[in-house]
Structure 1
C-alpha cells in the first residue's frame, strides 16, 4: 500500500512540475511559458503585452508544425551568453515531433537591453521551409491605451513609397522588418523588429482596433509585390538546422525611443561589413537634380568652379565637399562603359586641383537595355545579359525600367569588377549606388546553388561591391532595402527621389518622421539632392532645412549657370551656424503627431546646451504651428530666448505662442537652454 501511495505521489508531483509554467523575471520583464500548451506570454512591470503566443514553421510539403499543437515533453535549458550586446542568459524551450523534428524557442535576456530577443530554431534531417514564425498570437491586449496607431515601415525606398501611420485596424498593412503599435495619448508602444536580414525577409503583422490589438505575427519568409517587390513566394531555406532571424520585442514608454534602441541593437548584432566612414559629414552636389541626362565635362567642371568661387565655405568639418556625377557620366566615355575613361580622369584631376572630392554613380544589379534582347555581351566577360537576368516564376523582374541581374552570377560579378575597377582607377572618392533592391528579389534559382533566398543573394552582391571598392570611396545607397543595406553602405537616401517643391520636401520628411532612427544604423542618412531652381525663397528654405534635419546637405541645381536664387542660398549654405548642426551627421528627432502618409511639422536636435527646432509649413496658406514643449524636452511654463537662424531674428519662444507662417516654408530656431 505504501508503495502504491508513493508511486501515485511521485506521479502527481511530476505532473504538477510539468504543468507548472516556466517563468523568467529580469529588468522588470517577465516571460511566462506554459509547458502544457506550448504558448508564452511577455509582460513589463506587470503589464502584459504579448499573451498566449506560439511559434510555427511551414514545411515545403505544406505541413505546418506549431508549438501549441505539439504534445511532447518540453525541456528547458539555460546558459550564460556574452556578445556585442553584453552579458545575459539564453533560455531555450525545446520539443520534438513524432517525425523527429525539434523546435527550439530561444529567449535572450541581456543585462542592459530593455526588451527580449526571440528566435526560432528547427533541427531535423533535410528540412525545407520558407516560413518560420517565432511570434503568433490572437490574444486580445487592451492594456496599452484607447487610441492605438500602427506604423507600417516600407521594405525599401522605391516607387515613391511612404511610411504609413494609421489607426490600428483589422486590415492594417503589414510592416517590413520592424513594426510598431502605440498609444497616441501616452506614447507607449510595442515594437517587434528583425535583427538580421542576411537570409530572410520579415513581415510584422499587427491587427486590432483603437482600443486593443488582437493579432501579432513576426514572419520570416515574407513577400508582397507592393512591399518587397517580389512576384513570387520567399525562397526555401534547406538544411539540417534552420533558424529565423532574431527579433527584438520591447514595450517602451516612448515608442520613438523604442525605435532608436532597436536601430542601435541592430547595428551591434549585425555589424557593418564596410568599414565605418572616418571622415566628416558629407556635403556636396549630385548631377541628377537638374542636369540629369545632359551631363557633360563642361557643366560638371562648371559646377566644381561654382563650389570653388561662389561657395568656398560650404564645406564639411574636414574642409571637403563632394562633386558627384550621377547617371549619364558615360557621356564622357566614348565607347560607353567599356570605352575611353580619359575625360573622366580629367574631371577627377580637375576636382582634385580645386580641393574637391569627385564622385560617381552606378546601378550594378540592373540591365537597362533588356528591351534590346538577351544576346548582348555583358562587360567584363563572355556572358550575355540574358544569362545574367534573375529568373522568377513570372520570367524576370522588371521595375523602374531596369531588369534585375543575378548578384551571384559570375557575369554580374565580373561586370562589377571591370566597371567599378575602372572607377576606382579614375580616382573617384564617392559612389552613389542605385536600384539595389533589384538584387534582393526572390528567384526560382540563383546561379550559385548554395544561395536560396533573395537576401542571401543581396549579401553576395553587396559584399563583392564593397570588396572591389577597396575602402577607397564613400558608399551612398540610393534606392535600397532599408535595413539590409546598413552593413554595406556609409550613407543612405532616406526616401525616393525628391527635387524642389514643398510637396517633395514633405514627401522626404515623411521618411524622416518615421525612419529618422536609421541615423543609428548608418553613418549618415540623406534627403536627396536639394534643388532651388524656380522656387520661392521660403520653399527653398524648407528644402534646404529638410537636408539639415535629415543630417547631410547634397545640392542638385545646375551650378554651371548663374541664377537669381543663388546669392541668398549661398549665404545659408556657408552659414557656420547651419553647418555646425550637421557636423555630427545625425538626424533631428520628430515630434508632434500626424496621420497617414503625412510628415511631422516640427523636429528637434540638442547639441550641448543648445536646442535646435526645425518647423515646416507644407501648405500654401498661412499657418500657425503649435509646439508641444514636453515632446521636445522644454518646460511648458518657461520662456526661452531663441534666434531664427535663416533671418537672424531674436524672439521669445513660449508654449503659448505658435510659430506663424504666411506661406509655405520653414524656420530654424536656435534655443539657449
Structure 2
C-alpha cells in the first residue's frame, strides 16, 4: 500500500528496524544533531497482520517502530528530534512539535502560527518546545516582507518559545532562492535584539491573555495578546495582523499584576520606556507589526 506516494512498511519487521537503524546511525556519522521527522501521522496505517504476531493494531505497531527509532537516536551523542505534521499523542518521541507547518514570513502566516499558540499553548507541557516553524525574514515573493512583518514573525518565535532561522544568507549561493543581501540587512536589524532573544531563550510558550478572542473576525483567527511570566520579568506581546494601526488596553489584573508589583516597563523592539497607569497597559501597534512590553517585577 502507498500513502502520500510512499510505500507503507511494517514497523515491527526486522528489515524495517534495520533500515531505521542504518539511517539514524549514518546521520550521526555525518555529524547531524537535529532531525526533523516529518509526516509522523503517516506511520500509523492499519494492516491485516504484522511480523510481530502479538501486535494487532496500527497504534501498537507505530509505538514499536517509533520506540526503536528513539533507541537508535539515544545511542551515543543524543539528537534533537523535531516532529512535524505530528499529532499530539507521540510526545514521548520528540523534543519539539511543529505547531504550524509551511509557515513563512507574511503577517497572515504569523497569525496562522499564533492561532496554534492561542488554542494550543498547553502542548508545551508535553513537548519541550512548541515549534512555530522556520522563521523567515525574506521570502521568494516579489512582494517582500516588511520590517514590521519581520518583527511580528520573530515575536511569533519568542512567544512560542523556539527560534529556528532559515533565511539564505550566502551571497555565493546560485539557487536563485531568497534574497541573501536583503536577508543579511534584515537580520542585522531584527535578529540582534538582545532583549527579544533573551525572552526567546526561556524556551517556553506564552499564553493568550484572554483565551477566547479572535482579531480578524474569523472563527479560525488568532489572539493578538500573549503573556509570558518569568521569575524576573512578565512579557506582554501584542501582534497586529491588520493593515492599519490598532490600539487597545490590557488591565493589570488580567496580567496578574498590581501597580505596586513592578518597577518599570520597556518596549523591547523600540527600546523605549513605557509608562503604565493603574488602569492597565495601553498599546498602539502599526499595521503588520508587533510590540513586546517587558515588566520588571519587584
Alignment TM-score, normalising by the size of structure 2: 0.84
Bigger radius of gyration among the two: 1
Q: Distance in 2 between matches of 1:580 and 1:404?
A: 43
Report deviation, 1:637.
10
1:34-49 correspondence runs (5 A): none
Q: Report which stretch shifted further, 419-428 or 588-597.
A: 588-597
- Pair 1:431–1:519, CA change in 2 (3 A): same
Partner of 1:433: 37
Does the Cα contact within 8 Å between 1:495 and 1:511 map onto a contact in 2?
A: yes
User: Which one of the candidate residues 454, 457, 469 is aligned to 2:61?
Assistant: 457
Offset at residue 609 of structure 1 (A): 3.1
Q: Is the 8 A contact 1:572 1:578 kept in 2?
A: no
Give the match for residue 3 of structure 1: none
Q: What's the offset of the Cα at 1:608?
A: 1.9
CA distance change for structure 1 residues 427 and 637 in 2, over 3 Å: closer, same or farther?
A: closer
- Check conservation: 2:251, 2:281, Cα contact below 8 A: no
Are 1:504 and 2:128 counterparts? no
Q: Tell me, yes or no, if structure 1 residue 606 matches structure 2 residue 229.
A: yes
- Asked if 1:475 is matched to 2:78, the reply is no
Q: C-alpha displacement at 1:571, in angstroms? A: 4.0
User: Is 1:448 matched with 2:52?
Assistant: yes
The match for 2:161 is 551
Aligned to 2:213: 594
Could you tell me how far apart the structure 2 residues matched to 1:404 and 1:504 are?
32
Query: CA separation of 1:433/1:648 partners in 2, compared to 1, >3 Å: closer, same or farther?
Result: same
State how far apart, in whole Å, the 2-side matches of 1:622 and 1:404 are: 50
In the aligned structure 1, how far is the partner of 2:50 from the partner of 2:293?
Answer: 53
Indicate the SS of the match to 1:580: helix
Q: Which runs of 5+ in 1 are unaligned?
A: 1-395
1:565, distance to aligned residue in structure 2 (A): 4.5
For 2:221 and 2:251, locate their aligned partners in 1 and report how far apart those are by CA, in whole Å: 18
Match of 1:651, SS? coil
Measure how far apart 1:646 and its partner are: 1.1
Q: 1:638 to 1:428 in 2, by over 3 A?
A: closer
Equivalent in 117, 123, 126 of residue 521 of structure 1: 126
Please report the TM-score for the alignment, with normalisation by the length of structure 1.
0.39
Give the SS at the match of 1:643. Answer: strand
- The alpha carbon displacement at 1:656 in A equals 5.3
Write 1 or 2 for the structure with the bigger share of helix: 2
2:271 to 629, 635, 648: 648
Q: CA deviation at 1:457?
A: 1.6
Gaps of 5+ in 2: 139-143, 172-179
| Partner SS, residue 118 of structure 2 | helix
Which of 192, 199, 207 is the matching residue for 1:574? 192
Distance 1:633 1:404, change over 3 A: farther
How do residues 295-374 of structure 1 correspond to structure 2 at under 5 angstroms?
none
- Distance in 2 of aligned mates of 1:620 and 1:408: 52
What do residues 93-142 of structure 1 show as CA deviations (whole Å, max 9, x unaligned)?
xxxxxxxxxxxxxxxxxxxxxxxxxxxxxxxxxxxxxxxxxxxxxxxxxx
Structure 2 Cα separation of the partners of residues 617 and 667 of structure 1: 9
Cα deviation for residue 645 of structure 1 reads: 0.7
CA deviation map 1:614-655 (0-9, x unaligned): 111111122224324333212389997321111111111344
1:669 to 265, 288, 293: 293
CA distance in 2, matches of 1:639, 1:459: 48
The whole-number CA distance in structure 1 between the counterparts of 2:25 and 2:71 is 11
Q: Do residues 622 (structure 1) and 226 (structure 2) align?
A: no
Equivalent-residue separation in structure 2 for 1:402 and 1:627 (angstroms): 50
Contact 2:121 2:207 in 1 (8 A): yes
Measured in 1, the distance between the counterparts of 2:251 and 2:42 equals: 42
| Whole-Å separation in 2 of the counterparts to 1:606 and 1:398 | 43
1:640, 1:653 within 8 Å by CA — same for their partners in 2?
no
CA distance in 2, matches of 1:579, 1:636: 27
Note if contact 2:252-2:281 (Cα within 8 Å) is conserved in structure 1.
no
The 1-side partners of 2:209 and 2:57 are apart by 38
SS at match of 2:18: helix
- 1:542–1:666 Cα contact (<8 Å) kept: yes
For residues 52-63 of structure 1, the aligned pairs below 5 Å read: none
The equivalent residue for 2:15 is: 411
Supply the distance in 2 between the matched residues of 1:446 and 1:507 (Cα, whole angstroms): 39
Partner Cα distance (2:260, 2:222) in 1: 27
Q: Is the 8 A contact 2:167 2:183 kept in 1?
A: no
Give 1:607 shift.
Answer: 1.9
| 1:570–1:451 CA distance, 2 compared to 1 (3 A) | farther
* Larger strand proportion of the pair: 1
* Bigger mean CA deviation after superposition, 473-482 or 573-582: 573-582
Alignment of 1:115-194 (within 5 A): none
CA distance in 2 between counterparts of 1:580 and 1:656 reads 24
Would the alpha carbon gap of residues 565 and 418 (structure 1) be closer, same or farther in structure 2, given more than 3 Å must change? Answer: closer
